[in-house]
Amino acid sequence: MERLLQDFIYYLSVEKGLSANTLDSYGRDLKKYLNYLQQRGITSLEETDREEIARFLAQQQEKGLAPTSVTRCLAAIRSFYQFLLKEQLIEANPAKELETPRTEKVLPQVLSCNEVELLLEQPESGKTTGLRDKAMLEMLYATGIRVSELTSLDINDINIKMGFLRCEGKGSKERMIPLGSAAIKSLQDYLKHSRGTMIKNKDEKALFLNQQGKRLTRQGFWKILKKYSRKAGINGEITPHTLRHSFATHLLENGADLRSVQEMLGHADISTTQIYTHLTRQKIREIYNQTHPRA
């Protein structure tokens, strides 16, 4: 079963082009499932049925796994069996008819425009790392890209003259996203005064570097963001996705159409983008309650 899992992950990587993060998630979920089967004395995937998968998912819920994580786990199991079916290693997909657990849509945390401004003011422009950090924060808010997409950017992915960046998102889908004037200015400052002093290998292609002159990691950026959010005195847990959510919400609040926001975020389905319309409607309701005499 372990070998079949490795074959499946390889298939997802090579033929489906899924990101490293998605592969890690699927791998972790399926390892838990295979361990569960082994504990139950099941040594072949042909022996499993719908009820067995349902028992495993129920066990995960009892252990406190979030509904969204249980849904992801079922998606991984379903895809795994579908792969085995395609390879003619099983006769039917026992997970096919299982219902996805219902999950409540939790509205994402969004910063106000003032909080964003406060956050962007924190990096020190007199420091090499400060110029880098300012450029990264400005770019995240200006483009709404994911942190993994930000840290994957190469120097050639930026076209400052045209004011665009090229980004490769989930499923290796490429998209072009405009850069605002503030992001361009901070990026120019970083490239002119900072990146050249940080780089150790002239062949390094990464846009954003750590202090060893290598590509900055996602974990490295998380620490940087955490430091500046504390410094800015912003309440709540700020994540890189908070800036992505803020980007989308602020665009819609100021009149952007949903399709354009979907394109910039790289969402395959517009229903994923529609969660931000709930936030804008919530904002309209707050304004109405605060300003209408008879609200």
In a domain, 61, yes or no: yes
- Residue 58 placed within a domain: yes
Query: Does any domain span residue 262?
Result: yes
Instruction: Assess if residue 101 is contained within a domain.
Output: no
Contact 183, 143 (CB under 8 A): yes
> In degrees rounded to 5, what are phi and psi of residue 165?
-125, 150
Residues 6+ apart with CB under 8 A from 261: 144, 248, 251, 252, 273, 276
Is residue 108 included in any domain, yes or no?
A: no
In 114-260, DSSP assigns E strands to: 158-159, 164-168, 174-178
| Same-domain status, 201 and 268 | yes
Q: Which residues contact 103 (CB under 8 A, 6 or more apart)?
A: 67, 68, 71
Domain span including residue 166: 114-290
Is residue 198 domain-resident? yes
Q: Is the domain of 141 the same as that of 269?
A: yes
Q: What is the CATH number of the domain that holds 72?
A: 1.10.150.130
Number of domains within the chain: 2
Pair (184, 44) in one structural domain: no
Question: Which two three-digit tokens encode residue 118?
Answer: 């406060």
* Residues 122 and 242 occupy one common structural domain: yes
Same domain, 79 and 120: no
The answer to whether residues 77 and 213 belong to one domain is no
Q: What are the C-alpha distances in Å from 84 to residues 16, 94, 153?
A: 15, 11, 35
3-state secondary structure of 168: strand
β-strand pairing of 158-159 with 174-178: unpaired
- Whichever domain contains 147, its CATH number is 1.10.443.10
Q: List the beta bridge partners of residue 167.
A: 175
Distance set, CA 31 to CA 2, 22, 37, 66, 189 (Å): 8, 14, 10, 18, 46
Question: Is 277 found in the same domain as 233?
Answer: yes
Catalytic residue list: 146, 170, 241, 244, 267, 276
Would you say how long the chain is, in residues? 295
| Spatial distance between the Cα atoms of 8 and 2, rounded to a whole number of angstroms | 10
> Is residue 197 located within the same domain as residue 280?
yes
Strands 164-168 and 158-159: antiparallel
| pLDDT (0 to 100) of residue 104 | 54
CA distance 263 to 249: 14
Can you give the pLDDT at residue 68?
80
Task: Count the neighbouring beta carbons within 10 Å of the beta carbon of residue 136.
Answer: 27
User: What's residue 35's pLDDT?
Assistant: 93
Same domain, 25 and 153: no
Could you give the CA distance from residue 136 to residue 240 in angstroms, rounded to a whole number? 11
The structure's pTM equals 0.64
pLDDT (tens place) for every residue of the chain, 295 residues total:
888 999 999 999 888 888 888 889 899 999 999 999 999 888 888 888 888 999 999 888 888 887 888 888 999 999 999 999 999 888 889 888 787 666 555 667 889 999 999 999 999 988 999 999 999 999 999 999 999 999 999 999 999 999 999 988 776 778 899 998 999 999 999 999 999 999 999 899 999 999 999 999 999 999 999 999 999 999 888 888 899 999 988 888 888 888 888 888 888 777 777 777 776 666 666 766 777 676 5
Both 144 and 224 in one domain: the answer is: yes
Alpha carbon distances (Å) from 44 to 9, 48, 49, 224: 18, 8, 11, 46
Q: Is residue 127 part of a domain?
A: yes
Q: Is residue 99 part of a domain?
A: no
Tokens of 72: 């992801």
- Do 128 and 38 sit in the same domain of this protein? no
